[in-house]
Amino acid sequence: MTTPAKDSDPVLITGAAPSYEEQLAARKRKYVIMMACRIPCLILAGLTYHTWWLALGFLAISVPLPWIAVLIANDRPPRKSEKVNTYQREATAIESTTHRVIDG
């Protein structure tokens, strides 16, 4: 007889991690939102080129956005550390060595 594997134990639904597809969809959404924020920054930099410091500010914001978006999109959520509940019995004191012996 074989014993069942530990991985086949049922997982409590409230404690289950989101599926890989859900994680991937969330990371794609974050990437698209961050890249969509870059487009208005570039447009505003083009529209405010007469005020050089403002245009430079919009460019400074838009340049690192692709790098940040890729880092965030590739980052998976951390794995949960599972604490194993093990039985811990109470420590018992050692009895004294002097006992009364009754000879019969």
Over residues 56-72, the pLDDT tens digits come to: 999 999 999 999 999 98
Higher pLDDT, 96 or 53: 53
In this predicted structure, the answer to whether residue 30 has a pLDDT above a threshold of 70 is yes
DSSP for 10-64, written as a single string: PPPGGGPPPPHHHHHHHHHHHHHHHHHHHHHHHHHHHHTTTSHHHHHHHHHHHSS
pTM of the entire structure?
0.56
Domain edges within the chain = 21-73
